Amino acid sequence: MTGGAGTVRLAVVTVVRDDLPGLLATRASLRAQTAAAYDWFVADGGSSDGTARWLARHADEAAWWRSSPDRGLYDAMNIALDAIAERSPPDNAPGNAPCSHVLFLNAGDRLADGRVLERLLPILAEHPDAGLFYGDALEELPGGRLVVKRARSHRRALLGMFTHHQAMVYRLGESPAPRFDPRHGLAADYAFTLTMLKQGPRAQRLPLSVCIFAGGGRSQQDPARGRREQAIIRRELLGVGYTTNATLWALQWLALTLRQTIPWLYAKYRFSPNERSFLS
């Protein structure tokens, strides 16, 4: 895996458990990229479906991988972050430069098209003072049609995640990056992002769709728990009181109800056609 923009090198972290088809879809998306200045870190939670055997047979494709039981999605992400921090390239070999940024692309998630990294890496290099980059995400509707879910401004982070976690890139500074709080089984990515924003380096909006989001995850299966965790995180990290939290909880519930009961109206409000994702 060589190439890239200056000293920028991306760590792509993939967490997987018993989802070999999803892992292969993510791998195919990475292999299709026209720019390959990335290293793949794969944390498998001790799969029994053949994922571990596949990783062992294709060990040369990953900069690091493990297959061992963990305490869940965010614990696996922390383990991968530790692996990135501990990795020391031999003799500073050009093809093994330290990773400067990290993208979390879990099994089943894909990059929006084959030129995402080609467009993304120069932007990362042009903004060395930015600690967080975020763009749009593609979602697949019933029937297979891809639509763009526009990112909101990071200044509206009080409302919740302003884009999908898979559409965010975090800069890895000289000091250790924050870690995901295992108390939050569904919303630790929200706490992680708020912590990065509070640390000071500015956020940079990306003019592209970054990922194709694989739906059906735990946050979609138990949205009430996700809202409760977000309320706790807002109180602890932002000092948000009960009344404001209750109002935000109600707005999130209303948006979800709208999506479930009147999906065409939600789609009209929240989605856009995806032509912009495939600009030449």
For every residue of 130-168, DSSP letters joined together read EEEEEEEEEEEPTTS-EEEEPPPPGGGGGGS-SS-GGGE
Token reading at 133: 């980059």
Site of tokens 């390239």? 89
Q: What is the DSSP letter of 66?
A: E
In the chain, DSSP assigns E strands to 10-16, 38-44, 64-67, 101-104, 110-111, 130-140, 146-149, 168-171, 202-213, 271-273
- Residue 220: what residue type? Q
| Domains in the chain: ranges and CATH | 10-278 (3.90.550.10)
For the question of whether the overall pTM of this predicted structure is more than 0.75, the answer is yes
CA distances from 64 to 81, 106, 179 (A): 11, 15, 19
In whole angstroms, what is the distance from residue 106 CA to residue 254 CA?
28
Residue 109 has φ and ψ, to the nearest 5°, of: -80, 150
Residue 220 has a pLDDT of: 62
Residue 274 has a pLDDT of: 62
The answer to whether 22 and 214 have CB atoms below 8 angstroms apart is yes
Per-residue pLDDT of the chain (280 residues; tens, 9 = 90+): 333 445 899 999 999 999 999 999 999 999 999 988 899 999 999 999 999 999 999 999 999 999 999 999 999 999 999 999 987 554 444 456 789 999 999 999 999 999 999 999 999 999 999 999 999 999 887 777 889 999 999 999 999 999 999 999 999 976 677 899 999 999 999 999 999 999 878 999 999 999 998 765 565 667 889 899 999 999 999 999 999 989 988 888 888 887 778 776 667 667 777 644 333 2
The answer to whether 148 and 136 have CB atoms below 8 angstroms apart is yes
Residue 277 has a pLDDT of: 38
